[in-house]
Amino acid sequence: MKALSKFLAVAALAVASFSLASEFPEGSPAFVSSLAEAKTKAKAEGKPIIAVYSAVWCPPCQAMKKKVYPSSEVKEFHDKFVWAYIDTDLKENAADAQKAGVTGIPHIQFLSKNGKEIDKQVGGMPPDAFAAKLKEVLGKAK
């Protein structure tokens, strides 16, 4: 019975890890799933953070996920930021969403490598406008 329990726990963890990776189209940035993980990674790598507050039921959020983040215009910025995709429907993300002032989604918060807010964007936008926003944020992050 213990062996079966261990197997099921490992299988559940593997499925959960795979589901986060598989929910993004090919060519998307490497998203982490929590703000805490993004902050740790940003400090270690010396990069600013893009915290995307989103939900599966939000059409503009899903459009950004499928068409904007993996777009050719945005690809050049994938390695310049630490990307966090934060599901606002999960209880464990409620405090971070409240602290970020999320009142509508998609809510994209741009943070320095030390976790200080640089800028934010509420609502969807096309790839070229989002790329321009990323360039602007990089300038402010220096």
Alpha-carbon span 97 to 111, nearest angstrom: 14
Average pLDDT across the chain, whole number: 88
Q: Is the pLDDT of residue 6 over 70?
A: no
Q: 16 or 94: which carries more pLDDT confidence? A: 94
Domain that holds residue 93: 26-141
Q: Tell me, yes or no, whether 124 lies in a domain.
A: yes
Q: What is the pLDDT of residue 2?
A: 52
User: Does residue 6 lie in a domain region?
Assistant: no
Could you tell me if residue 114 is inside a domain? Answer: yes
CATH number at residue 69: 3.40.30.10
pLDDT digits (tens, 9 = 90+) for 58-72: 999 999 999 999 999
How far is it, in rounded angstroms, from Cα 73 to Cα 39?
Answer: 25
With 50 as the cut, is the pLDDT of residue 9 above it? Answer: no
The verdict on residue 16 lying in a domain is: no
Taking 80 as the threshold, does the pLDDT of residue 30 lie above it? yes
Distances in Å between the Cα of 24 and the Cα atoms of 8, 29, 56, 69, 132 are 25, 9, 12, 9, 22
Work out the average pLDDT over 120-142: 96
Domain count, the chain: 1
In a domain, 7, yes or no: no
Joined together, the tokens standing for residue 44 give: 């270690």
Global pTM value = 0.82
Instruction: Sheet containing 49-54: give its strands across.
Output: 31-32, 82-87, 49-54, 107-111, 117-122
Q: Is residue 19 part of a domain?
A: no
Q: Specify the pLDDT at position 7.
A: 41
Tell me what the mean pLDDT of segment 102-123 comes to. Answer: 96
Residue 73 lies in a domain: yes
Residue 88 corresponds to which tokens in the numbers above? 């606002």
Q: Let me know if residue 17 belongs to a domain.
A: no
Tell whether the model's pLDDT for residue 8 goes beyond 50. no
Residue carrying the six token digits 């068409």: 67
